[in-house]
Amino acid sequence: LLTLRRVLFPFLLRMIGESFGYLLYHCSAVGDAKGRIAVFMANGGGGKTTMSLALIKQGYRLLNDDLAYIGGPRGNEVRGVLEKVNFTGWTAEQFPECAKYFSDNGLDVSREKQPLDIRKIYGDKSVLDRGTAALIIMLKKDHESPLMARRLDTFALLYHMYDAQILPVGPPCWQAVLDVISHVRAFELFTGPDPVETAEWIHCNWEQLILNSSTVLQEAQTGNNEIH
């Protein structure tokens, strides 16, 4: 039954989204006070949850942890499929308030993933239901290398977005993906040894990233992460 749910649930979500002009993606997403959304894509275990939680602590709001609709009439609308956030022991260790919640409720996150409605810790204002895509960031979790960011060209982004779709159905999807790409700035981000520090870097450089600033990318690549 669990396997059937894992297959049918995304399939039904995708069909519903397509009927309204949205594609369903495997990603996490957070938004700022203006409703501008950063979408994080990565392979399983690639740091999407950790990055989203770290940005919530910087004042951003969570649309989703695992699935989101992107598209709509304007091509760049994002609607979250908000489910409980699945915590691993490593992720919980990065956020003492979450680890305390699990401990206080007798949940052993070190042995298996634990789902959590983040509103129980961060409040109702920590979530958002929709917004406008401004950034797409492909996360590369690398604890051995320093923080580094670089632009993604159209072809690389096209591949990553198609790969991140839930149950992609072929060529008809390409135009919808191109519509999204035309509205956003896209980067590949090597997260470095401290994901919370990386989230602080994104927060400090949020406006520059949206403006596609070359300076902020050069600073990331040279290890100078201070903003002047």
Categorize the per-residue pLDDT at 83 as very low, low, confident or very high, splitting at 50, 70 and 90. confident
- Phi then psi dihedrals of residue 71, to 5 deg: 145, -120
pLDDT tens figures, 15-61 = 888 888 888 888 899 999 999 999 998 877 778 888 999 999 999 99
Query: Which pTM value belongs to this model?
Result: 0.85
Q: Which pLDDT score is estimated for 40?
A: 93
DSSP labels, 5-39: HHHHHHHHHHHHHHHTTEEEEE-EEEE-TT-EEEE
- Within 10 angstroms of residue 112's Cβ, the number of other Cβ atoms is 11
pLDDT classification of 228: cutoffs 50, 70, 90: very low
CB-based contact 199:139 (threshold 8 Å): no
Per-residue pLDDT at 1 = 47
The per-residue pLDDT for range 120-177, each reduced to its tens digit, is 999 999 999 999 999 999 888 776 777 788 888 888 887 777 777 665 555 556 777 7
Rounded (5°) CA angle 69-75-80: 20
- The answer for residues whose C-beta is within 8 angstroms of residue 76's C-beta and 6 or more apart is 70, 132, 133, 179, 180, 183, 184
Tell me, what amino acid is at 151?
A: R
Residue 70 · residue 76 · CB < 8 Å = yes
The pLDDT of residue 15: 82
